[in-house]
Chain A
Amino acid sequence: KNEVEQSPQNLTAQEGEFITINCSYSVGISALHWLQQHPGGGIVSLFMLSSGKKKHGRLIATINIQEKHSSLHITASHPRDSAVYICAVMPGNQFYFGTGTSLTVIP
């Protein structure tokens, strides 16, 4: 059983489209992270949030603690957004990772 489920697994979008990636988790958490992983393996932390909503540029992350659900939105998507987006939750000191959503944005 995976504590973190992401959907969709794969997503293809046209440049400019609004994109939503979802994350559901089954454990109580202190925080949730959205991470971006480009081909080649490097991981970059996009957001760490424990409530509400955060925005950075074209990226918006929301979390609903009661529903154990978070979403990552990308507005005006661009080919450089193509990457794997990973949701990770922290029930304590350890991270539990989702399997990731592979996003491809086509020009």
Chain B
Amino acid sequence: EAGVAQSPRYKIIEKRQSVAFWCNPISGHATLYWYQQILGQGPKLLIQFQNNGVVDDSQLPKDRFSAERLKGVDSTLKIQPAKLEDSAVYLCASSTGLAVEQYFGPGTRLTVT
């Protein structure tokens, strides 16, 4: 079974630039999560989708972050414009439903200079 795929693995941008991350969850997984993990901290949930609907985006900085999962499969997370404090690893995870085990992708390490 293929795991959660993410791309790119690494990205370096200057502040005020835009960036987009892509996630392909495990086939058949209805629930998809985007997390932000700042160095030395645990992951923080940014947004949670159930199929193509948003379950929780309470911690998503909506002035600069956006995410979509249009067909209920792949998802993209965008930052526009980026700030220095956005430097982090962005993790995508998927699960078969709510409140069950999650499977994580390898993450995208973003550096904002």
Contact = CB atoms under 8 A, between A and B. Distances in A.
Contacts of A97: 42-44
Contacts of B37: 41
Interface in A15-73: 30-31, 33, 35, 40-45, 48
Nearest to B40: A99
Contacts of A33: 101-102
Contacts of B100: 48
Contacts of A43: 43, 91, 93, 104, 107
Nearest to A45: B101
B109 interface: yes
A42 B41 contact: no
A99 B41 contact: yes
A37 B98 CA distance: 22
Contact of B45 (A4, A42, A44, A94): A94
B106 A42 contact: yes
B99 A99 contact: no
Given A30-B99, A99-B40, A93 B107 contact: no
B75 interface: no
A103 interface: no
Interface of B: 33, 37, 40-45, 48, 55-56, 89, 91, 93, 98-107, 109
Interface of A: 4, 30-31, 33, 35, 40-45, 48, 86, 88, 90, 92-95, 97-100
22 contacts: A30-B99, A40-B106, A40-B107, A41-B91, A41-B107, A41-B109, A42-B104, A42-B105, A42-B107, A43-B43, A43-B104, A45-B101, A86-B43, A88-B42, A90-B99, A93-B55, A93-B98, A94-B48, A94-B56, A95-B102, A99-B41, A100-B41
